Each structure stands twice: as structure tokens, then as C-alpha cells.
Amino acid sequence: MDNYSLLKLIHIISATVLAGTGAGSAFFMLMAYQSKNIQAIAVTTKHVVLADWIFTTPAVIIQLVTGILLMKRLNYSFTSTWFYIVISLFIFIGLCWLPVVYIQYKLKDKAIIAIKTSTLEPGFNALIRLWTCLGILAFSSILIVFWLMVYKPFPIV
């Protein structure tokens, strides 16, 4: 396997980890929330925060680094319409993800308090709705980036 193939493989795997962790975290968080089981919510929020540190954060960094290296290797232009759209979406996803991480910490803290009080604070519901909306925006944007990577509908040189 040459360096290009390895770089492309790492880029694809990190994209898969990024999308998979996002989808899995969303599924488990929403299922725990719908269960109304405070213990399940507390454990799930704790694990979602951990998953972001173990999987999402490294995948984002790897995506950026391998994406830039692939651009250079393929002589794609950093001033092309395609690149501007991709990097804009990457930044947009990050701007959604950063508040999501903060919200996850708040949800975790509120769930821990709820274990002691046996009830979720009303603020929990508003936070989970905001978390869901930002997650939908970010995940939809990831899917658009995947489409752009495969079809490259704009000039890239």
C-alpha cells in the first residue's frame, strides 16, 4: 500500500468513526431520555461525554490533518469553490459541536443531581432539545461533506 492509499484509508476510517460516534451517541442519548429512567440518563450522558473525548475529538483532528494532506497530494486548490464549501461546512460542524459538548456536560451534571432528587430539572428538557437541534444540523452537514467528497460537483483545481 502506498502513502496515498494509507492516507486515504485513514481519512475514510476517521470519517466513519466521526459519523458513527455521532449517530450512536445521539441514538443512545435520546433512547435514555425517552425512557425517563434517571439512572439510565445519568450513565448515558457520562458515556456520551467520554465517547466525544475518545472517538470524536481525535477523528476531527485526523479529518483536518488528512484532508489537508490529501489536498496537497492531489494538487487540489485551497482557493477552489469546492474547498471553500467543504471547509465552511467543517467549521460550521465545529461551531455546532462545541456547544454540543458543553451541553453534554450540563446534561451529565443535571442527571447526577436528578439521581439525588429523583426528578430532572425543567432546564434538562430545553438543553436536550437544543442538543438535538445542533446535532441534526451538524450531522446533516457531515452528510453533505460526504456527498461533496464523493461527487466533487465543483471545480477543485
Q: What is the pLDDT of residue 122?
A: 86
For residues 45 and 108, the answer to whether their CB atoms sit within 8 Å is yes
Look over the chain and give the mean of its residue pLDDT values, rounded to a whole number. Answer: 96
Show Cβ contacts of residue 147 under 8 Å, excluding neighbours closer than 6 positions: none
Residues in the chain predicted with pLDDT less than 70, given as ranges, are 1
On whether the CB atoms of residues 42 and 112 are closer than 8 A, the answer is yes
Domain assignments of the chain as residue spans, ordered by start: 3-151
The whole model's pTM is what? 0.92
Query: What per-residue confidence (pLDDT) applies to 1?
Result: 66
For residue 82, what pLDDT is reported? 96
pLDDT score recorded for residue 103: 98
pLDDT of residue 63: 97
Q: Is 89 exposed, middle or buried (0-12, 13-18, 19+ CB in 10 A)?
A: middle
Block residue for cell numbers 466513519: 16
The confidence score (pLDDT) of residue 157 equals 83
